[in-house]
Structure 1
Amino acid sequence: MRAPAFWYRPPGLLSALLSPFGALYAAGTARRLAGGARERVGVPVICIGNINAGGTGKTPSAIALAMRLSSRGIAAHVVTRGHGGSLEGPVRVDERRHRAAETGDEALLLAAFAPTWVAKDRLAGARAAVGAGAQVILLDDGFQNPSLTHDLSIVVVDAARGFGNRRVLPSGPLREPVETGLARADFVLAIGPDEAQVRFAGTEGRHIPCPVVQGRLEPLPTGLPMDGLPVLAFAGIGHPEKFFATLRELGADLKAAHALSDHQPLSDALMSRMLREAKTLGAQVVTTEKDAVRLPPALRPQVMTVPVRLQVADWGPLDEALARLL
């Protein structure tokens, strides 16, 4: 589902009409969070979540933290719900055996960087990970999940979009009110370019009760020159236009851009249509890492992947928090 444009404008008539439903959604989240005692699993749990509905950069954030912990010899395992996958779990993701239809695309991508467990029951997933040797649990998108105690909670936000109109679904983009959610956060990780960071600090900074860490997504070199390359791009992520903007910044000649729904299956018919269009345009088909794991294996050699990695401006505050935990 593409995010409605009115979510990112000042509240208007449509937001007002939908606000009673937003109040119900917020109340449901509050009831879920209040229900029962959270459990501990014997190792620290670092939650990487958000209060927005998708598209903030949680997966690159989880990858960055997994790599940072691994570089220090700490065995971090990721536990994720496996959005869009059929497996209930808990099951450890095997890149060679599993497909995105089973695990979800994000889990399959995360498994390339750290042991990753798909579990609809997050507590069961965390226990399985600890049984397999996890020294730290990275809980992907579990900020509103009440089953586990969070030893460190990081709320990820797109600096360019912020918290939108600050209304709760479906009146706005939020899963819960900003003040309610951030009261449980230890850090806000704002992801975006410098100009977006300045705007975010100006509009939201004074309302945030915890430290804000700044980061940006930077493309990795692919080994192929992008400058002037004719491309047909497609992306089924939270905000596809961010990927298209990245390609333009790299100098690609964007002949066509197809914004798909988040996690949209890449059927043979869809891919055949795009490959024919690219041939007509004389363009290279390009996509994101997250989309690439959903490609039928036979088509992967025909599609260029442009990976991105999170670069954090100052790891100091997070490193200090991690040192206290570990």
Structure 2
Amino acid sequence: MQARWYSARPIWWACPLAALFALLTSFRRLLYRRGRLQQVRLPVPVVVVGNISVGGTGKTPLTIAVAKALQAAGYRPGVVSRGYGGSQQTPALLNQGADPARYGDEPCLIRDSGIEVAVGRDRPAAAWLLLAMGCDIILADDGLQHYRLARDIEICVIDGVRRFGNGWLLPAGPLREPVSRAAATDFRVCNGSEPGPGEWRMRLIGDQAVNIRMPTQRRALTSWQGQSVHAVAGIGHPPRFFQMLREAGMRVIEHAFPDHHRFQAADLAFGDQLPVVMTAKDAVKCQALAGGDCWYVPVQADLEAAFFQQLLERLSIVAGQAGAASPRALR
């Protein structure tokens, strides 16, 4: 079905369901805009990083990059996440080396980057745990459609290659909300291709691999040039990772898994002595399963300095308006 999402035509039988989904989505947003559904307003600025399409667009690397830029500017950001893929039901703070089976792979990856993280289905309650720790800005990872948490700034991440697919909402297409919703956000970041008008270019940089069992061991991706490797990816869009390895000169044997896949030892047992290379998001779940020749590729979101400068300027305006006391109105 997903292949049809990115073709010229929608799935005809799913079009009525997509129309119903669009109606329900618009009605829910209207209820929040009219105050019929209550938003929770925090006493600090809230920055949402999300997208309007399903699948991986690069939200987590961008969230980490934004948090690092805020730290460099003197802020103490905290990230709130749903914790998708984890078993934790109540709001909780994460420690370094937290269990991804309990808290989710993406929150653990963010926390291991040196950023405070809280997870919970009740995101405002999770955010309050971060405020109690002294965080003065909340980043909501994958929170664009979570309207209960009022926000001051919205950042929409767009897959530069796949864009918005056929332009239809689920299940006829890949969209959670109409394309017009992306245009209404404060910043639009295009990952992996030429940005459109009003969009900021982002690329993911990763030229080294880290040994999962012995993290002090690193090697350049180009050191495998011309060699075969097992490439493992349980992310939203595995082909992006496989292509990155091919561009480094590897002969890639693809092993794509569903996003947030819970790995078992059998998933990494390929019956040969070839190295295994995976994403950092997968590696946090495979530390107990990995052999001595298992590696992961950490990536960083690279954006021009003007993006972060404009974001900091917008935050200063928000702070001057008493922060979340007057958050952006839903449009």
**TM-score past 0.5 threshold:** yes
Match in the other structure for 1:218: 205
Q: Is the 8 A contact 1:41 1:130 kept in 2?
A: no
Match in the other structure for 2:327: none
String of CA shifts for 1:271-304, please: whole Å, max 9, x gaps: 2x23x24x2xxx2100000010111425264411
1:238 to partner: Cα distance: 0.8
Within 5 Å, give how 1:290-301 maps onto structure 2: 290-299=281-290, 301=292
Aligned counterparts of 1:41 and 1:233: Cα–Cα separation in 2: 42
Distance 1:94 1:317, change over 3 A: same
Q: Which has the higher helix share?
A: 1
Give me the TM-score of the superposition, normalised by structure 2: 0.86
Aligned counterparts of 2:229 and 2:117: Cα–Cα separation in 1: 33
1:89 to partner: Cα distance: 2.6
String of CA shifts for 1:204-255, please: whole Å, max 9, x gaps: x4xxxxx42111111143431332243111101111111011111122232x
Aligned counterparts of 1:149 and 1:233: Cα–Cα separation in 2: 40
Within 5 Å, give how 1:43-82 maps onto structure 2: 43-82=44-83
- Aligned partner of 1:307 among 298, 308, 321: 298
- Aligned partner of 1:269 among 262, 266, 271: 266
Structure 2: gaps of 5 or more residues: 210-217, 320-331
Aligned counterparts of 1:260 and 1:162: Cα–Cα separation in 2: 22
Deviant stretches of 4+, over 4 Å:
none
Aligned counterparts of 2:179 and 2:149: Cα–Cα separation in 1: 21
SS of residue paired to 1:126: helix
Distance 1:31 1:173, change over 3 A: same
Match in the other structure for 2:249: 251
Number of aligned residue pairs: give it: 300
1:20 to partner: Cα distance: 1.0
Aligned counterparts of 2:233 and 2:279: Cα–Cα separation in 1: 6
SS of residue paired to 1:150: coil
1:112 to partner: Cα distance: 1.5
Aligned counterparts of 2:286 and 2:72: Cα–Cα separation in 1: 30
244-253 or 56-65, larger mean C-alpha shift: 244-253
2:21 partner amino acid: Y
Within 5 Å, give how 1:1-326 maps onto structure 2: 4-12=2-10, 14=11, 16-33=12-29, 34-35=31-32, 36-96=37-97, 98-113=98-113, 114-179=115-180, 181-182=181-182, 184-192=184-192, 196-197=193-194, 201=196, 205=197, 211-222=198-209, 223-227=218-222, 228=225, 229-254=227-252, 256-271=253-268, 273-274=269-270, 276-277=271-272, 279=273, 283-299=274-290, 301-313=292-304, 314-315=306-307, 316-326=309-319
RMSD of aligned Cα (Å): 1.8
String of CA shifts for 1:118-145, please: whole Å, max 9, x gaps: 1111111112211121100000111111
Structure 1: gaps of 5 or more residues: 206-210
Aligned counterparts of 1:29 and 1:95: Cα–Cα separation in 2: 37
Give me the TM-score of the superposition, normalised by structure 1: 0.87
SS of residue paired to 1:297: coil
1:53 to partner: Cα distance: 1.0
